[in-house]
Amino acid sequence: MSQPIILILGANGQVGTELQRSFGNVGKVTACDRQRADLSKPEELRALIRQLRPNVILNAAAYTAVDRAESEPELAMTINGDAPRVLAEEAAELDAVLMHYSTDYVFDGSKASPWVETDATNPLNIYGKTKLAGEKFIEAVGGKYFIFRTSWVYGPHGHNFLRTMLRLGRERDQLKIVDDQFGAPTSSIAIADATRAAVTAAMDGQPEYGIYHLTCGGETTWCRFAREIFAQHQKRSGAKAPEVSGIPSSDYPTPATRPANSVLSNKKLQSELKITLPEWQGALVETLEKLQD
């Protein structure tokens, strides 16, 4: 396909910003922020897509305020459920590739080993339930779609755990961070680059469409992630690292319940699409270097 038309939704977000970098020389890219493509008004998306007639739709927009979703379930469902359904319908009509991002929070965390794509879903919070609804709507429509479940997303742009820790590290000498939730921190840089590889495969042939887990390698806890952030930041900047203490989730109650284990297996991604993301520690170093630049 020569010069594909690529539509990026959520242009100002963590992943959307990196997608613009990663797809900068792939084709004709139109990147839309919330002002131009508001997922809380799904029917307006139809007109936009019918006007642009993209070959590839990259949906990096979502309702991601996990705790606030508990008090705004209808808005979260509109953005995370209804809007992806509209995107899937319009993509299928155009025979376009739809790339949609989902979450580790579709699982309840009860499994001791990494979750695979065929494991039973059972989200514990409204955010997870609405993201699962979006998955199911896309599956029901069918067509050329990738659903990438990712986890603990952070990056050099937007609001995320990394940037919050760096700010708190400047303000405080001691921090208490949850140490009994396990997952894989995944950088927006790695997600965008993996997305480009998947889209390239789709344009070059007939890949296996469907649901994939897409995270950086390895696993950790929020507390250990924070310690690594400060260790790497101190190595680069000389800034004094705060003392980080681990606490149980019960000591840090939140409106939304989080799964205890949301580590995802990437074996299907590696075997079907030949894509492997870096280990989470290496991705963190890359992100910190980009932040310093």
Q: How far apart are CA 61 and CA 80, in angstroms?
A: 9
Q: How far apart are CA 224 and CA 230, in angstroms?
A: 10
Q: How far apart are CA 289 and CA 240, in angstroms?
A: 18
Residues 134 and 125 sit within 8 Å (Cβ to Cβ):
no
Residue in the block written with tokens 């699409």? 273
Q: How far apart are CA 59 and CA 43, in angstroms?
A: 15
Residue type at 127? Y
Indicate which residues carry an active-site annotation.
127
Contacts of 47 (CB under 8 A, 6+ apart): none
The CA angle 42-135-96, to the nearest 5 degrees, is 65
CA 39 from centroid of its chain's CA atoms: 16
